Amino acid sequence: MRWDDLFADLAAQWEAQARRELDGEVADRTRRERALVRLSDRLVAAVGCRLGLVLVAAGAIAGRVLEVGDGWVLVADEAGGPALVPLAAITGVTGLPSGVDGAGASRRFDLGHALRGVSRDRSAVLVTVLDGTVLSGTIDAVGRDALELSEHPADLPRRAGNVTGRRLVPFAAVVLLRPGRGAGAQGAQSWP
169-183 residue pLDDT tens: 999 999 999 999 754
Number of Cβ within 10 Å of residue 85's Cβ equals 24
Q: What pLDDT does residue 3 have?
A: 78
Give the pTM: 0.78
Give domain status of residue 24, yes or no: no
Torsion, Cα of 39, 71, 136, 46 (10° steps): -40
**90-129: per-residue pLDDT in tens?**
999 999 888 776 555 566 889 999 999 999 999 999 999 9
Give domain status of residue 142, yes or no: yes
Give domain status of residue 161, yes or no: yes
Give domain status of residue 2, yes or no: no
Label residue 185 by pLDDT band (50, 70, 90). Answer: very low
- Domain count across the chain: 1
In sequence order, the β-bridge partners of residue 141 are 148
Label residue 80 by pLDDT band (50, 70, 90). Answer: low
The arithmetic mean of pLDDT across residues 143-151, rounded, is: 97
The arithmetic mean of pLDDT across residues 130-159, rounded, is: 96
For residue 184, what are the domain limits? Answer: 37-192
Question: Of residues 52 and 34, which shows the higher confidence score?
Answer: 52
Give domain status of residue 12, yes or no: no
The CATH number of the domain holding residue 56 is 2.30.30.100
Contact partners, residue 79, CB within 8 Å, separation at least 6: none
Give domain status of residue 28, yes or no: no
Of 2-6, 27-31, 35-39, 40-44, where does mean pLDDT reach its minimum? 27-31
In sequence order, the β-bridge partners of residue 186 are none
Give domain status of residue 53, yes or no: yes
Q: What pLDDT does residue 66 have?
A: 94
Give domain status of residue 187, yes or no: yes
Average pLDDT along the chain? 87
